[in-house]
Amino acid sequence: MEIGGSSESQNETKKGKSKTPRKPKESLLKQKSPAEFFAENKNIAGFDNPGKSLYTTVRELVENSLDSAESISELPVVEITIEEIGKSKFNSMIGLVDRERVDAQLYDDYETAKAREKRLAKEARAQEVQAKNAALGKKVKEQSTMKGMKGRGEASFYRVTCKDNGKGMPHDDIPNMFGRVLSGTKYGLKQTRGKFGLGAKMALIWSKMSTGLPIEISSSMKAQSYISFCRLDIDIHRNIPHIHLHEKRNNDDCWHGAEIQVVIEGNWTTYRSKILHYMRQMAVITPYAQFLFRFISDAPDKNVTIKFARRTDVMPPVPLETKHHPSSVDLLLIKRLIAETSKQNLLQFLQHEFVNIGKSLAERLIGEMGPEFSPKMVVKSLTDQQIVRINQLFRQAKFDDPTGDCLSPAGEYNLRLGIIKELHPDMVATYSGSAQVFEGHPFIVEAGVSVGGKDVKQGLNIFRFANRIPLLFEQGADVVTRTALKRINWGSYKVNQTQDKIGVFVSVVSTKIPFKGTGKEYIGDDINEIATAVKSAIQQCCIQLKSKIIKKMLAREQQERKRNLSRYIPDATNAVYDVLKYMSQSHASKKKRYSGEEAEILGNITANLITKETIKEKLAEHVEKVDYEMALEYATQTGVTEEPREDIFIQTLDPENKFIEFQSPIFVFRLKKLCAAVKELNTRLGFNRVRPR
């Protein structure tokens, strides 16, 4: 009894102990590196999934290449290649031996015999329906390929290579430029395509996460006798580069630029159209660049090669770095500027670290700050309270708007050429607005509107650009889309919004693009200054198009009128001839006498000098004359003169064929005029007089 009781009490004690809650472990303070943060939140940089990662990698590499070439005013030549890598080839690259499956049911793509039979029966029924529709002459849709039983582990891998003719990179800086997140050369206040310092670094992080393979960089600067080659990956936890190989190689071809090669997981099938659309829109906004895009696959029918040729040699000016506007700064920025400035006193600091603050305005601002401020006070001795006072005054004071001299828009010329080169529209109008300001940041809006074109769908086709970068995602919430759809009355400009092929191109450049979201894919519709500028730019293009459309409609109406008149010439001829015949008979029988021109016409009718053919020819001449006068008026309005064109005989460059077309009437006429002019000149000078010997 006692033994049993003791055992029960022990069990109860054990049960009671198990019910007592455990004390939580004390949480340790941890710190993440920037590389680790972006690896865990890769969607911030546009690496949401394998397909989007492939698109973002191409985009970042192409934009870096354009920035590099434009920085040295070199016409960009960019070659981008995506090579599909099969599973066995990828395994051989990483040194993994292929193995056959032993337990098939273990895998996610395992298909039972019943499921396979059901799938094959469904495919057979779909083929029968397709054959019946084809026999009846109905439109047959292409049979969609059945979803393959692709497991989660069956990934697709691609080698992305981007080569350019840009500035290149210094040999010693390459590891940190690619292997250290949030380090770059684009952090100043300047119009740039990139801002975060991610780009190729995120491609490297994605490569490390999906394939484990390093990135390879080849680079050479102008007049450099060697090529820097570097193979590296990134230590994500410490945010430092892990260098596999870094050496100098011979540069026999005197090449300059950069070539970057990275192997990543991707999805070409899903994002093929996005990548090609991106390349096409990039060719629109940068017609001075030459792009060569290639997709290489083991299956030859999947290969893609597209060359976007250069259309112009005119490049936009290189954007300049500018200083901060007083109304655009905050407290932290003022503190950073004070810490980094080389100026000693407050007066010099205000003059040289901000735009639109001259000496007189700086003195007025210092006087308004209070008695504890003076122009000669040491700027680095300012207290936190005094810095807050400066920030408050900057927010309340009135300053002149910054100019757009630091910006580098594409320009109407380049925008028009890009649209014509890629879309081949029937009509196009472009407009470039003047610099405007929001929150102290200057911006310029350029727009183009086209009608008709190649590979353009009916309705509105909207193309958006920010700092000369195509924006392809999240279009619905963008200020350009909403303006084009809701704020423009297309009918008032003689444009059919649903049936015409309309291309709307809007490019916004600024030192700070107000993107919404971390993906930098659209500009919000909540900034009135930008929304108003976008609407005005599109309207200016529409006004230009309206005049062209009206002239085209008038010309079409004139042609239709001519066709109608020509169609009724035979009937009008018969009617006029019958009336004149009846009048001539009355004139001959003296029932009614006519005189003057009328009698002459009736006499010609009686003598068969005027026949139906004569009247028909006269009416045709009249129609042609009216059409010629209308066409001449239209041509004169559009700038074409009435003077007939002369045949010009250009002498060949071949020295053996030296001839002049003496039988040309133009040559004879000009020769006579020349002889007459020479004769008159001789008479005036007295050379024709007989001189005594």
Q: Binding site for ATP, residues?
A: 64, 164, 185-186, 194-201, 520
Per DSSP, the residues of 397-452 read S--PPPPSTT-----HHHHHHHHHHHH--SEEEEEEPPPEEETTEEEEEEEEEEES
Do the beta carbons of residue 293 and residue 279 sit within 8 Å?
yes
Q: Number of C-alpha atoms within 13 angstroms, CB side, residue 393?
A: 18
Angle ∠(83,88,94) on CA atoms, nearest 5: 85
Which backbone phi and psi does 227 adopt, to 5 degrees?
-110, 125
Calculate the CA 5 to chain-centre distance.
Answer: 86
Which helix (H) or strand (E) element contains residue 385? helix 384-396
Count Cβ neighbours within 10 Å for each residue of 603-635 and write b for 16 or more, e otherwise: eebeeeebeeeebbeebeeebeeebeebeeeee
Q: Among residues 486, 498, 494, 501, which one has the least CA distance to residue 544?
A: 494
Quick one: tokens of 158?
Answer: 């691609």
Quick one: tokens of 321?
Answer: 């770095």
Rounded distance between C-alpha atoms, residue 341 and residue 357, angstroms: 16
Count Cβ neighbours within 10 Å for each residue of 655-664 and write b for 16 or more, e otherwise: eeeeeeeeee
Rounded distance between C-alpha atoms, residue 280 and residue 310, angstroms: 12
Distance, first Cα to last Cα, the chain: 172
Count Cβ neighbours within 10 Å for each residue of 345-354 and write b for 16 or more, e otherwise: bbbbbbeebb
Residue numbers in the known binding site are 64, 164, 185-186, 194-201, 520
